C-alpha cells in the first residue's frame, strides 16, 4: 500500500519512496502553454513548495520521475528534448537580517546564470517575501531589503527574451508590490499622438464608423477627458441604418469605465446605445486614459463623482440622461448621484464596486503594509476568460497594470461615504456575475438594493467581473440591450 507523504516537500522523494501522489502535472502543462510570468499565493501547508519542486523536475526534463503522469503522455505536448536550466531562489532557509545578507545570496546566483547556454532560463522563487516579513519590526531594514529585491527583479527585466518561465510564490500577495518596478509587469509603450484623432487609435479600439470627438475640462486638480461618440453615415451597414433612423437623440447616456480601464474599452457598449438613439458621452476618470492625475490613484472617491458632475455641467446635453457604469465607474456614478440626486432617469450597473473581493484581508494588508508598499499589481486575467479580450488588454497602451496602495486607502474611506447615503428614487438595473472574484458581490448587491428600492437585479451564473467581455456573454448582452432600448415606463418600479 502506498504511504501518505506527510511532511514531505521533495517531488523526487515522494516519487521514488513509494508514496501516494495526486497528479498535478496537467496544471504545469497548462501554465507553460498559456504564459510566462506567474505569482502563486496560498496559505501554509497547501503544497506550494512541493509544486515548485515539481516544476523544477519538469523543466529539467527528469522524465524518470514523471513516468506514468500526465506530462509523460504524448498528448500532453511536453517537449522532453528541451531541458532548461532552472534557477531556484529559496528564501525560507534561515533569516536574512540585513540587506548585505540578501545581496550576498543574490550575488551567489551570478555563476548559475552563466550556465544558461543557448536555452531559455526558468526562474522559480520560493517565499520571496520572507526576508521582508522577518524584519517587519525593523522598518528601515525591511525597506532596505525591499529595495534590494526590487533591484534584483529590475535586473531581470531586460532578460525577457531569455526567459521561458517565472514563478513567484509566497504567503503575502501584498508584498508583491515590491516587484512592480522589476520584471513581471512590462508596459507597452504609448504611441505618439495616441488619442481619438489618430486613425490607429480608433482602429485599435474597434471604433471604425464612429464619429469620435474628444476634449478636456477641468474638475478640481484634474483635466478630465470627455469623449462624444456618434455614428457616421458612412460607417458599416448597421451603423448607417441606425444613423439615418436616429433623428433627434432620445437623450444622453453617460458611460463610465471600470478601474484601470478607459473610455476606449467601452466601444462595443457604446455602439448598442447609439443604435438605440442615445447620444453617448464617455469619460476617462481621473488618473485614467487621457485624463490627468497620478495613474489609477485618487485622494477620495468623491473626486470620481465630482468629475462626472463636471462633465454633466460642461454642455447642455440632451435630456433625459442615463448612466452606465462598470465596477469603479459605478462608484463614480453613485458618488455623483449622492452629491446631486436625481440627475439620471435610469442607471445601469455592471459588477459594481463598493467593497473589493477578499475585503477583510485587503484592509488588514493595507493597515500592516501601507508604510512599505507603494504599488500592487493589477490582477491580469482575473476579469475575463475571453482570450481575445485578455490579449487586447495586454497590448492596450492606456490600460493600467498597477494599483497604487494609496488607492486602497481611498476605497476603504469610501465605505464611510456610502454608509452616510440615503436611498435614491432613480431606477437601477444591476447586473452581477456569480463567478466574480474582483468585487465583493455578496456585500455589494444587497447594499445597493437597499440604496435603490426601485431596482432590478440580474445575476449571471458563472460570469466573471467583465461581464460583457467574458466568455458566453450572450445573456449579459441581452440584459443590457433590453435596458438600452427600454422606455422609462418599462424600467423597474417600486
Alpha-carbon Rg of the chain, whole angstroms?
25
d(CA 277, CA 296): 32
User: In degrees, to the nearest 5, what angle opens at C-alpha 265 toward C-alphas 203 and 35?
Assistant: 90
Tell me the three cell numbers of residue 137. Answer: 519590526
The pLDDT, as a whole number, for residue 213 is: 96
Q: Output phi, psi for 66, to 5 deg.
A: -110, 15
CATH topology of domain 11-179: Rossmann fold (3.40.50)
- Per-residue confidence at 181, pLDDT binned at 50, 70, 90? very low
- Helical H runs in 197-327? 199-204, 237-246, 267-275, 302-313
Tell me the three cell numbers of residue 271. Answer: 455602439
d(CA 88, CA 103): 16
Return the higher-pLDDT residue of 114 and 315. 315
- Per-residue confidence at 287, pLDDT binned at 50, 70, 90? very high
CB atoms closer than 10 angstroms to residue 458: 17
Q: How many angstroms separate the Cα of 395 from the Cα of each of 187, 189, 374, 386?
A: 8, 9, 24, 15
The pLDDT, as a whole number, for residue 184 is: 43
SS3 readout for 291-351 = CCCCCCCCCCCHHHHHHHHHHHHCCCCCCCEEEEEECHHHHHHHHHHHHCCCCCCEEEEEC
The pLDDT, as a whole number, for residue 379 is: 58
- Per-residue confidence at 117, pLDDT binned at 50, 70, 90? low
255, 266 in Cβ contact below 8 A? yes
The pLDDT, as a whole number, for residue 244 is: 40
Return the higher-pLDDT residue of 131 and 338. 338
- Per-residue confidence at 182, pLDDT binned at 50, 70, 90? very low
- Per-residue confidence at 107, pLDDT binned at 50, 70, 90? low
Using DSSP's 3-state secondary structure scheme, residue 201 falls into: helix
Instruction: Convert the pLDDT of each residue in 359-404 to its tens digit.
Output: 887 787 777 666 556 666 565 567 898 888 988 888 899 999 888 8
d(CA 351, CA 199): 31
Instruction: Convert the pLDDT of each residue in 12-53 to its tens digit.
Output: 888 888 888 888 889 888 877 766 666 666 555 666 778 888
Low-confidence winner among 80-84, 302-306, 337-341 (lowest mean pLDDT) = 80-84
The pLDDT, as a whole number, for residue 338 is: 97
- Mean confidence (pLDDT) of the chain: 83
Residue 462, pLDDT above cutoff 90: yes
CB atoms closer than 10 angstroms to residue 119: 13
The pLDDT, as a whole number, for residue 154 is: 64
List, as one string, the DSSP characters of 447-490: HHHHH-SSEEEEEETT--SSGGGSTT-HHHHHHHHHHHH--GGG
429, 324 in Cβ contact below 8 A? no
- Per-residue confidence at 159, pLDDT binned at 50, 70, 90? low
d(CA 323, CA 336): 11
Residues of the chain with CATH 3.40.50.1820: 199-488
In the block, cell 510564490 appears at 169
% of the chain exceeding 70 in pLDDT: 78
Calculate mean pLDDT across residues 181-192: 55
Return the higher-pLDDT residue of 116 and 135. 135
User: In degrees, to the nearest 5, what angle opens at C-alpha 179 toward C-alphas 176 and 184?
Assistant: 105
Q: How many angstroms separate the Cα of 268 from the Cα of each of 262, 438, 477, 480?
A: 13, 22, 10, 11
Low-confidence winner among 1-5, 140-144, 188-192 (lowest mean pLDDT) = 188-192
Residue 169, pLDDT above cutoff 60: no
300, 335 in Cβ contact below 8 A? no
In the block, cell 417600486 appears at 494
Instruction: Convert the pLDDT of each residue in 206-254 to its tens digit.
Output: 999 999 999 999 999 999 999 999 987 654 544 444 444 456 899 999 9
- Per-residue confidence at 297, pLDDT binned at 50, 70, 90? very high
273, 484 in Cβ contact below 8 A? yes
Low-confidence winner among 15-29, 60-74, 228-242, 263-277 (lowest mean pLDDT) = 228-242
In CATH, the number for domain 199-488 is: 3.40.50.1820
Amino acid at each position: 500500500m502506498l504511504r501518505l507523504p506527510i511532511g514531505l516537500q521533495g517531488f523526487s522523494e515522494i516519487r521514488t519512496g513509494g508514496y501516494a501522489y495526486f497528479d498535478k502535472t496537467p496544471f504545469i502543462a497548462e501554465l507553460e502553454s498559456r504564459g510566462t510570468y506567474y505569482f502563486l499565493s496560498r496559505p501554509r501547508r497547501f503544497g506550494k513548495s512541493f509544486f515548485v519542486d515539481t516544476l523544477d523536475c519538469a523543466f529539467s526534463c527528469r522524465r524518470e520521475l514523471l513516468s506514468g503522469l500526465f506530462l509523460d503522455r504524448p498528448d500532453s505536448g511536453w517537449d522532453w528534448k528541451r531541458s532548461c536550466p532552472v534557477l531556484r531562489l529559496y528564501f525560507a532557509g534561515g533569516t536574512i537580517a540585513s540587506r548585505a545578507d540578501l545581496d550576498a545570496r543574490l550575488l551567489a546566483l551570478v555563476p548559475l546564470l552563466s550556465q544558461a547556454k543557448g536555452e531559455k532560463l526558468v526562474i522559480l522563487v520560493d517565499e520571496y517575501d520572507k526576508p521582508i516579513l522577518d524584519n517587519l519590526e525593523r522598518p528601515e531594514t525591511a525597506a532596505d531589503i525591499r529595495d534590494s529585491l526590487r533591484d534584483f527583479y529590475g535586473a531581470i527585466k531586460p532578460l525577457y527574451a531569455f526567459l521561458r518561465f517565472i514563478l513567484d510564490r509566497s504567503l503575502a500577495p501584498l508584498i508583491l508590490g515590491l516587484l512592480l518596478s522589476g520584471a513581471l509587469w512590462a508596459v507597452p509603450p504609448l504611441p505618439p499622438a495616441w488619442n481619438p484623432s489618430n486613425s490607429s487609435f480608433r482602429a485599435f479600439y474597434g471604433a471604425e464608423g464612429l464619429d469620435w470627438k474628444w476634449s478636456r475640462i477641468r474638475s478640481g486638480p484634474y483635466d478630465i477627458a470627455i469623449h462624444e461618440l456618434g455614428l457616421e453615415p458612412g460607417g458599416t451597414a448597421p451603423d448607417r441604418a441606425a444613423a439615418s433612423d436616429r433623428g433627434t437623440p432620445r437623450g444622453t447616456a453617460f458611460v463610465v469605465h471600470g478601474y484601470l480601464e478607459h473610455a476606449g474599452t467601452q466601444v462595443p457598449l457604446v455602439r448598442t446605445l447609439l443604435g438605440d438613439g442615445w447620444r453617448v458621452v464617455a469619460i476617462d476618470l481621473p488618473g485614467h486614459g487621457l485624463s490627468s492625475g497620478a495613474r489609477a490613484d485618487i485622494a477620495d472617491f468623491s473626486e470620481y463623482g465630482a468629475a462626472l458632475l463636471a462633465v454633466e455641467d460642461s454642455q447642455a446635453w440632451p435630456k433625459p440622461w442615463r448612466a452606465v457604469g462598470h465596477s469603479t465607474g459605478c462608484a463614480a456614478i453613485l458618488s455623483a448621484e449622492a452629491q446631486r440626486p436625481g440627475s439620471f432617469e435610469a442607471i445601469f450597473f455592471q459588477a459594481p464596486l463598493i467593497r473589493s473581493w477578499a475585503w477583510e484581508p485587503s484592509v488588514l494588508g493595507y493597515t500592516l503594509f501601507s508604510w512599505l508598499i507603494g504599488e500592487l499589481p493589477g490582477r491580469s486575467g482575473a476579469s475575463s476568460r475571453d482570450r481575445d479580450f485578455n490579449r487586447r488588454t495586454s497590448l492596450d497602451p492606456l490600460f493600467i497594470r498597477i494599483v497604487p496602495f494609496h488607492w486602497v486607502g481611498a476605497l476603504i474611506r469610501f465605505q464611510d461615504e456610502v454608509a452616510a447615503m440615503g436611498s435614491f428614487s432613480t431606477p437601477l438595473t444591476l447586473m452581477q456575475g456569480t463567478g466574480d472574484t474582483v468585487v465583493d458581490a455578496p456585500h455589494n448587491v444587497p447594499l445597493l438594493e437597499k440604496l435603490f428600492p426601485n431596482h432590478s437585479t440580474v445575476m449571471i451564473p458563472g460570469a466573471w467581473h467583465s461581464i460583457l467581455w467574458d466568455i458566453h456573454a450572450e445573456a449579459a448582452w441581452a440584459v443590457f440591450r433590453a435596458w438600452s432600448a427600454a422606455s422609462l415606463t418599462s424600467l423597474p418600479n417600486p
